[in-house]
Amino acid sequence: MPCSSAIDISDAALDKKIKLTLDDLHLSNEQLTKIMKKMIKEMHKGLGKDTHDDATVKMIPSYVKSLPDGTERGSFLALDLGGTNFRVLLVKIKEGDKLDGKPKIEMDSQIYRMPEDVIVGEGEKLFDHIAMCMADFLKRLDLLDQRLPVGFTFSFPCQQDGLDQATLITWTKGFSAPGVVGKNIVKMLKDAIDRRGDMDVDIIAVVNDTVGTMTSCAFDDQECMVGLIVGTGSNACYMEKMSNIERVDSDKGEMCVNMEWGAFGDDGALSEYRNEYDAHVDENSLNCGKQLYEKMISGMYMGEIVRLVLVKLTDDGLLFGGKGSDALRTRGSFQTSYVSQIESAIPSGMTAVQNILATLDIGAMRHDCEIVIQVCRAVSRRAAHLCAAGIAAVARKIKASHPEQEVLRMTCGVDGTVYKKHPTFSDIMSEKVNELCAGADVAVNFALSYDGSGKGAALITAVAQRAINAEQ
């Protein structure tokens, strides 16, 4: 019997209690539509001058007003901080093949580990570490004495008052370095560079990774007006009419808005859709009560939700003979990568699933493996559907601002390990977005955005540098 039919949720072989447990992870189209409408409402609140402070979705102006037009040239340094790895890149935008007219992009990069004591230690120490990595990279390329424009991808919620001014609102994704929240992170980086005294760089732009993702995709696709990250964290951005951004003085043209949608639901708007596993994940996180939408979607939490469901089924005597293992009961032991590996392994049988469970000291029978696969499917499908509700909200919001277009076609550039490595996440999300946008005269296409945190940040810096040069 093929694996797919053996683990179907309606299969009579599955215990009724297992079905009930998995039902806690199912969201109907009616529920997703309600979530979509709640998101749109929060977007309007975030854009409003008088309602912004009470909005969970902060809709932060990025001050990115233009996307690449193909005339950008030069060498740029890009920094990428958004997790346990910090990356430094040299991005060169050169003249391309005369046949297609597109510029050629060359990149060189180095990844540096962010030690735990730096992630949770004093903020000044964190920026000193970043400056040290920058200097090491430039020294390797013999560029310490060359003045380079810098684009800094800083993938944490910030209030931006200009392209090169960003104040950290809150840490996410396991970071908790004190002395940074409420501070201008560009100034903190400049101070760290000045303390070293061995680099000549000019920080032109501070960029959220989501904005970089959209910009990177827009370089190749002129219809790209939405950016999405589904990786360690989750966030989205899109091009909004300036006239709708009440906290920005100008009403001409468009600007990219960094939604910071991970905090959607922090006011209780998602309470009826959250379950005991979501509550447990939140209670044991560093930022309890915050980023609740993100905690239902992103890679930092997906594996843990699966683990909690497996523990419950084991405690109920429905899985692993009711025994489990100490490893299974250890928080964080079931990695999100296991979810992708297990769902990818389905066509080849249960051996791959058994091997993964063996790393948790569990000897699993076929029936156990079938249940584990179904749990992984349920958790990842819910994440994809929740993400789809958010993107459908964005698509409908954009269409409402462009009533002159009979059918608005747009591309959403996407990056992140969950989107790239999970075997079905992208298809499930895309299908659900189209369902939720039915009748709205909007068509959403998804495209993998290559290296938005690196190439995207450099392109934003290049666009800004082009504008600076034009003014001079």
For the question of residue 252 being annotated catalytic, the response is: no
Distance CA 310, CA 300 (A): 17
What is the residue-wise DSSP string for 178-245? TT-TTSBHHHHHHHHHHHH----EEEEEEE-HHHHHHHHHHTT-TTEEEEEEESSSEEEEEEEEGGG-
Nearest to 420 by CA among 450, 443, 382, 387: 450
What is the residue-wise DSSP string for 36-74? HHHHHHHHHHHH-TTTGGG-SS--EE--------S---E
Residue 3, φ and ψ in degrees, nearest 5: -60, -40
User: Do 92 and 73 meet the contact criterion of CB atoms below 8 Å apart?
Assistant: no
User: Do 39 and 263 meet the contact criterion of CB atoms below 8 Å apart?
Assistant: no
H or E element that contains 30: helix 29-47
Neighbours of 300 (CB within 10 A): 23
Which listed residue (38, 58, 173, 399) is catalytic?
Answer: 173
Q: Kindly tell me the burial class for residue 58, based on how many C-beta atoms sit within 10 Å of its own C-beta (0-12, 13-18, 19 or more).
A: buried
Which listed residue (80, 128, 164, 209) is catalytic?
Answer: 209
For the question of residue 209 being annotated catalytic, the response is: yes
Amino acid at 259: M
Helix axes 299-315, 366-400, angle to 10 degrees: 140
Residue 33, φ and ψ in degrees, nearest 5: -65, -40
Distance CA 413, CA 238 (A): 10
- Residue 94 CB-half CA count within 13 A: 9
Distance CA 143, CA 259 (A): 36
Catalytic residues: 173, 209
